[in-house]
């Protein structure tokens, strides 16, 4: 089990639709922000640096699955609780739980892979085996640290 990192967003007027509630694709956008934040909080540099040093250009999505339980609206502050629930050979599963304080609003999983441009085909992207050092960074638990953005 990985660390859990909390990412906070404030819903803007422009995130909401004519029904006055968050337009649902924004949850996917915020989960993507929470994923990147997760890796940054675990100690990874931004993709643009990782691309220079190791060729890794990011963690694109293979699959998403999201359930919407309660609506939110502009002015609400949401907390996205993000962790990695499974590491496979070339993919990993992110879980995001979106809350407004104690209320559960939405939860989703993402299947992602670390990708590079293969040297022989620089216009394509290709998944690589999950780098062990990244896995270790995301999994490490310092004593006394659990489920908090302060980890």
- Closest CB 15 distance from a second copy, rounded Å: 9
Distance in angstroms (rounded) separating the CA atoms of residues 130 and 139: 13
By C-beta, is 11 or 84 nearer to a second copy? 11
Minimum CB separation of residue 103 from a second copy in Å reads 14
Here's the x/- map for a second copy, 17-36, by CB under 8 A: it reads as xxxxx-xxxx-xxx-xx--x
Looking at the Cβ atoms of 4 and 26, the one nearer to a second copy is: 26
Report 81-120 residues binding a second copy (CB under 8 A): none
H and E: helices and strands count for the chain: 3, 8
Nearer to a second copy, 43 or 60 (CB): 60
Asked if 17 is an active-site residue, the reply is yes
The smaller minimum CB distance to a second copy, of residues 67 and 88, is found at: 67
Given the structure tokens 């859990």, which residue do they identify?
4
Contact 115, 58 (CB under 8 A): yes
- What's the CA gap between 63 and 52, in Å, rounded? 27
Q: Is the Cβ–Cβ distance between 90 and 134 less than 8 Å?
A: no
Cβ atoms of 112 and 35 within 8 Å: the answer is: yes
Residues 46-85, mask of contacts with a second copy (x by CB under 8 A): xxx--------xx-xxxxxxxxx--x-xxx----------
Euclidean distance between CA atoms 126 and 120, whole angstroms: 11
If binding means CB under 8 A, how many residues of this protein chain bind a second copy? 40
Show which residues are catalytic: 17
């Amino acid at each position: 089990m990985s660390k859990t990192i909390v990412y906070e967003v404030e819903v803007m007027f422009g995130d909401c639709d004519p029904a006055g509630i968050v337009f649902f694709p924004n949850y996917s956008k915020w989960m993507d922000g929470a994923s990147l934040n997760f890796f940054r909080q675990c100690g990874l540099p931004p993709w643009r640096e990782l691309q220079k040093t190791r060729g890794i250009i990011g963690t694109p999505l293979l699959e998403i699955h999201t359930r919407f339980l309660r609506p939110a609206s502009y002015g609400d502050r949401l907390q996205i609780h993000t962790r990695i629930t499974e590491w496979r050979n070339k993919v990993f599963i992110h879980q995001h739980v979106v809350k407004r304080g104690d209320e559960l609003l939405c939860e989703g999983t993402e299947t992602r892979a670390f990708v590079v441009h293969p040297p022989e085909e620089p216009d394509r992207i290709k998944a690589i085996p999950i780098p062990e050092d990244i896995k270790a960074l995301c999994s490490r638990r310092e004593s006394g640290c659990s489920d908090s953005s302060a980890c």
